Structure 1
Amino acid sequence: MGGRPGYRADGRRRRLAPVVGTGRNALKSALIGAGIPIIPRGSRADREAAEHGPETPLVLVACSGGPDSLALAAVTAFFARRGSIAAGAVVVDHGLQDGSAEVAAAAADVLRKLELDPVDVVPVTVDDEHLGPEGAAREARYRALDSAAERHQAVAVLLGHTLDDQAESVLLGLARGSGTRSLAGIPSQRGHYLRPFLGLRRADTEGICEAEGLDPWHDPTNADPAFTRSKVRTEVLPFLEEKLGPGIAEALHRSATILAEDAEYLDQRSAELYGALAVVEPERILLPEHELRQQPAAMRYRLLALAAVGLGADRPSLERIHAVESLLERRGSAGPVQLAGKVDVHRQ
């Protein structure tokens, strides 16, 4: 799964592959965009760091050993070896497949050869009683990554999602009949999580691994049609490319980018309006009927959802929001309308 980074088997330095340069630029842009300094080698800051040894902010790569995350680890390791950043990695072992511990250990060994430090292997327990296997694994993974970031005081956790993942997410959102936020796909940054490779194709990450002499692990579940995302990846997206022509994934990525900007504005505006209108009491939240009725539907939906979440409910579905909005029509019952999370909505 690995070799000496940047060198061929005969010990000679490899010529930089264009795709590796693209990956490095993508990571550098993501870090700078998140306010994480990249110290140029040979700069005054670099010399001062060597003389005085200040703490360089640490970033962690979430790595499964697959092509996407291993390519991201290799690109990150390049900057770490130069002293531009400090970088480590976290390998989460979900324990869902036979031999998963061995796969995690092998990935950690490659990451150490790339000179990332620290490298943690974190076994987790996946409880899919309520969320289903994919959702439960995701929840367990993020808990482990959050814990590792806190333990090592990391300023960011890097995730290897690609443009293909983004396209798949948009298609899944369309299939579910989701709203703007879901169709916006995977955010390039959320809190301390960064996704530098969202503009790269999966073939690019495979190219980076090949150029760096890395042999990634291929998760068999990625081709298992029993998983919805795998079916989109192996059947739906290739079918659309065949029937509608190439560029579908890039088009879906562009749509997600536009919708993300729209969703960001609407979410920010609704949060401001909610702060001005909502009266928060110990066990209830009051929203003035007249002001709600004056809002456009997109804003009214968000205000009602914010109130529900503020009381501990799950984010309500469109059907439940429509049921709540019917109370504003002042016809029939004044409530209650029940929302998931044991929250009741009344008109008074």
Structure 2
Amino acid sequence: MRRRLGELLREDGLVDELQLRAALGFHNKWGVPLGQVVVDMGFCTAQQVLETLARQLQLPVVDLDAEVLDPRLADVLPAHVAESCRVVPLRQEGPRDSVLVVATTAPAHPPALDEVARVSGKARVVTLLATDAAISRAIDRLYHPHLLDARRPVEPIPLPEADEHLPLVTNRAECLMLERFLPGVGGLPVLVPLTEELPAHARLTERELPRVEAARKPVVEREPEVWVYGWGVQATQGLLTLLEDAGLRARVARTQDVRAASPCTVVLAPVQSVEGVTRRGLRARLLLAGRAREEAQAWALGAQGFLSGPLRADVLSQAVREQVSARPMPCAVRAEPRAGARTW
């Protein structure tokens, strides 16, 4: 007969009788797993509880942070199933890869493992034990590598207001009066204003004047069709190459670029990168990417479309093209109502 977790924790000296009673009271009242309760109350660590559970269930423990994950397994078990069932596929074994080895939090729920077997099409699912935190990190590494180094926006630090008594030199007369603000300093040199009259040899001819005037006009750069914002370095390079191959004008955006973007521009960004930016309102079309559990958050941020990892090149390219096609006509034309949102 399997021994209770509380008895094993007390036997190992991880909790005393009083701590165990307090943890069991919370467990019975709120239904939180006992292993989680003793960790939350600070009686022992998650790793200690995991090792005790492994002894109770007679299952091996896996160090997920040191495990090399096979990206091909992301096609065997979709991301939304891994996240909802809290499992990470590790490898396939047996004849014709009929066995799927997964890491899971302990104790594993039989309905969850049945769902994993059904979706993956495997005859059997073998479980190894890992902490819930390690499961979350491994899911991110396997299914969302493009989000691992995504950068959150850095809000600018407001500078203090200028001292109202600070003298501002705006013309030559005030420059001459500057001495009274700098006691003991006198004889400040004052530049003689340049005259508008030029010597004859320096004057432009009528033929040269239009060319010089045209050169003085600032070059107005066209706004890109897609701003790529908030991704890591490698992900940004890959996205720019992908969009360029798709014939789209794309550039890397700064926070001020995203805030100033017009409704004619699509912003492609991870969910967490625009959390702080959207508080001030954005006019651009937001195409956000994230984990399956972040979809509701993406819609709340005003997304026009949502991409759930792992990102496939063809799906991402199609999603960006649809957002570019659905944007309003060039801003000289009256903007059309925003198109409906979509999930890919």
TM-score by length of 2: 0.29
Which one has a bigger Cα radius of gyration?
Answer: 2
Judging by fraction of residues, say which structure has more helix.
Answer: 1
TM-score by length of 1: 0.29
